[in-house]
Amino acid sequence: MKVINMPTAPKNLSKISVKLIVGIVGIIVLLVILFNCWYTVTDQQQAVVLTFGKFTSVEEAGIHFKLPDPIQSVIKVPVQMTQKLELGYRDQGKGNYISVDEESKMITGDFNIVKIDFFIEWKVSDPQKYLFNSIDPEKILRDSSLSAARSVVGTASIDDVLTSGKIAIENEIKDKLVQCLDKYDIGVQVLAVKIQDSEPPTEEVKQAFKDVENAKQSKETAMNEANKYKNSEIPKAQAEADRILRNAESQKQKKINEAKGEVAKFQKMFEEYKNFEGVTKTRLYLEAMEEILPGITVYIEDDSGSIQKIVPLKPFNSEGGE
């Protein structure tokens, strides 16, 4: 009986193929591990590092290295991003909104029902507390916001809620919400509270408040026009007052000068009277007659028969006068 030896090459080839596959798999596993050992954090984020599921550290922006999963894992939190929480409505995009009545309907301090849509601007202040101090921090924020809003609106009048008191209500809601979140300590910071819209429950009440708002705007318009007219007329009045004062001052100075002239004239006449009493009396008499009977001419004939014109007289202080 003859024994035939089979070739051994295929068996050796099979061993080489297994080693090659194992090597490739090992390289792939090694590459995966290497790629899993580093991560990048943007300037809008902070990274929370966990070791075997337990908090280890918080890392800032940049490239960082860690131990491969499942030893260490990383959760990136957008701490610098301002987020918006809508209450009383939901934005569906493309300008479409839906109302959430169970959030928007509230009772005012004067027992009126009002619908308020508002939103909270917030951001993560502490990523560790945000991730581990509560199961759902956004739900806590929503519930706390609604509680603060109902508390504030419940002490305000409907007129304040619908018209002039919105800013004060926003600030008061924010203050109450900040105090509440400080107690919960969930790593959330409230930036602003904004009332998006507030309206009364019925169309009749809504129209009445629109009329009130229109009246206020008309009042403001009338006041602005009155102030404009006042500002344009005041300079004119001041200019007229200045003109009157200048004229009065001019008249005053004129009267003073005239009085001084009269005084000087009287003093001169008095000196003449002291020196020539008889002549001065006669002259004063003739001047009075000339004033009483204007336009007359008086002639006197002396003993020698010569005639002399007496009235009208020459000026008292003119050259050649008596």
Token pair 């295929």: residue: 10
Please tell me which residue, 287 or 198, carries the higher pLDDT value.
198
Report, as an integer, the average pLDDT of 297-316: 63
CA–CA dist 10, 17 (Å, integer): 11
Report, as an integer, the average pLDDT of 127-153: 94
Burial class of residue 224 (count of CB atoms within 10 Å of its CB; 0-12, 13-18, 19+): exposed
| Cross-strand pairs, 143 | none
Please tell me which residue, 259 or 29, carries the higher pLDDT value.
259
* Residue 151 scores a pLDDT above 90: yes
In 3-state terms, what secondary structure has residue 99?
A: strand
List, in order, residues 6 or more apart from 316 with CB less than 8 Å away: 265, 268, 269, 283, 287
Which amino acid is residue 68, in one-letter code? P
264's enclosing H/E stretch is: helix 203-275
Q: Which regions of the chain does DSSP assign to beta strands (E)?
A: 38-41, 46-51, 54-59, 62-65, 72-77, 83-87, 89-93, 96-99, 105-107, 113-124, 188-199, 298-301, 307-311
CA 281 → CA 130, 275, 278, distances in Å?
118, 11, 5
Domains in the chain, please, with CATH?
Answer: 26-77 (no CATH), 83-201 (3.30.479.30)
Please tell me which residue, 192 or 277, carries the higher pLDDT value.
192
CA–CA dist 28, 9 (Å, integer): 29
CA–CA dist 9, 203 (Å, integer): 94
Report, as an integer, the average pLDDT of 172-197: 94
In 3-state terms, what secondary structure has residue 120?
A: strand
Q: What is the pLDDT of residues 229-256, one digit of tens each?
A: 888 888 888 888 988 999 999 999 988 9
Token pair 């300079």: residue: 235
Q: What is the pLDDT of residues 111-125, one digit of tens each?
A: 888 989 999 999 999
Please give the mean pLDDT across all residues of the chain: 82
* Residue 318 scores a pLDDT above 60: no
CA–CA dist 269, 266 (Å, integer): 5
Which amino acid is residue 296, in one-letter code? I
Tell me the pLDDT band of 313, cut-offs 50, 70 and 90: low
Q: What is the pTM of this model?
A: 0.56
**Angle 245-247-251 from CA coordinates, rounded to 5°:** 115
